[in-house]
Chain A
Amino acid sequence: MEAGEANKTRSGVLIDSIRTSSWQSRIAVVLVAVLLVLLLKQAAQDPGQFLSQLFIGLTNGAILALVALGYTLVYGIIELINFAHGDNFMIGSFVGLTVLSGTFAGLSLFGAITDDSGTFLKIIGVIITLFVAMSVCGLVNVGIERVAYKPLRNSPRLAVLITAIGMSFILQNVGLIWKGPAQVPFPQLISDEKVFGPGSILFRWNDLFVVGVTIPLLIALSYFIQRTKQGKAMRAVAQDKEAASMMGINVNRTISITFLLGGILAGASGVMYGLFNGITVFNVGFTQGLYAFTAAVLGGIGNLTGAVVGGLLIGIIGAMSDQYIGTRWTAIVIFAVLILVLVFRPRGLLGDRSAVQGGGE
């Protein structure tokens, strides 16, 4: 570094960085700018609609972010795209539905919690449902890791990925056997009337519910990883498995805990998805899982903040595409984002492990 560089003004640095940027990134910046301008034009025409859509996007994004965290945690620690994670999310929503209905395997344990139940019963019901779904999904995820991934830990990466795809189909069919091929309705426990906001801006109780569940979960996760001994062990294993095991860290247990955490988040996310959207279906995990994976990649896979940012962004992109391009194109838009990010910026926005061979650490 030359001495003169320190004296450069801020604008000079900016111009320099533009000069050294690649054509790819210049084109990308222009494209994103054009899209933003078009979006802002729409927003100026009808701000109420735009803001309501933004809230829907943020809520969906929060649900996706929790799933994306599961992908990113697992990828960060064993470099596996846990293909079955999306279907674990689906299992979470089915477990939630079962708990709310009060009957399991023909046994009626307690009365179903429906739209007409009292407020107190609803609140208790939702909390118990969340708790049960989180535990079940966490354990399912740990089980999958034990049965399907652990024996292949030293195998080629693609062998494990193929097993993960197999597990994904097994879970999907469990869902199919469980609830059948049709969409299953969720009871509408949380009102979709608006909480506040002037005019046509909609911020509804169910938006508030999703935010109110997601934020504590994120804080708890971040506390666990940053402050606890087990979290420290996770970070160590993610960096270097061998060295971590030499330091006396139980690598297998740490990996199991990572899967447990991912499953817990997916379970909470599945229940919220059902309550927020009012329906669930056996193959919801495939698309939602891919969206969440897109989110994880967009933020930078292996990067926890990235997963949350990516989740919110994908949620917003999806909502905007629903509104201004058309619902039927949304999946294509998001998959296109996935491909573009992987091809042009595999490190994601915030960056972590490099996806390009030979690059990165």
Chain B
Amino acid sequence: MLALGNRLLAQQRIRVLSIPVLFIICILVFFIALSQGGVVITLRETMLMLTQPVDDQLKHAIIWQIRLPRILLSMVVGAGLATCGAAMQALFRNPLADPGLIGIASGAALGAVATIVLGTSLFANFSDNLGYYAVPVGAFLSCIAVCMFIYRLGAQDGRFTIVSLLLAGIAVNAIVNAIIGILTLVSNEQQLRDLTFWSMGSLAGNHLAMIMPTLGIIIGCCIGLLRLSKPLNVYLLGEAQAKHVGINVTKLKKQVFIYTALCTAAAVAITGVISFVGLIVPHIMRLILGPDHRYLLPACMLGGALMLSLADLFARTIMLPAEVPIGLITSAIGGPFFLIMLLKTYQGAK
């Protein structure tokens, strides 16, 4: 299996060091991202504005109301997607798994598309009441509903087997995508444009107040997943084997599924589909640190935060004053980078 049987470096020292190093890089990127953009603000000014009141109202607003929420969101969503990816890969014992595989992401897409297309007719009440929040709330609710459906199907005989979860997920994914297709078909020009952009993902235009619930849910789920890292390691031995070592495998699988579903729902609802982060970051981290989730999951959190905030920095500065959809950047930068890592591993293995 691709890049799975290999690890580049396995020394304990590198694993212990990597997390503080990643953390420091994250902090640096955070401040650099704050200072970069359409309006240039120096790093020194940025620091000043974060710590004390300043006269320059425009710059203050740019930092506090535009850039800070956006960077926070990009970091937390990146961390959430990458951690969920790693957890899903462990759950399915397959390196190609990510939350998109079993229909979690398309559950959110369904809600978003339905709210965009039917917001003026069928869901007029819903849209009017929630206003600006209608699309994210719709996406979140629909994602949770779809996940509950998959969960119920997967837990049919009380055992929650991975195969039934996977099959149920794939089937539901297909159905959901069919409904999205129908909704796309009946949408008008403006709606079509809206939903196309939603599906490419965007981190723009959110206030601090709007992203707070998302941040809370994602951070909570990540902490929940981090606490499962030891059982997840043992789970990779095999289900029967993990049970013999003393792990309640069914409970573990349910916990991972619920955390992943909630976390992905919260992320995708507000940013749209951002592909590749959940797949690539865990892979890179596993190549560097090995598969031990006690190191892998925190490293994925930091790595995901780093990747998405850097990608977003590119997305909003590369074509000023226009902006590139973030999903394009993650795929365009992530893909080649991932290939280089793979080739290096193969050369190293020879």
The answer to whether A and B belong to the same complex is no
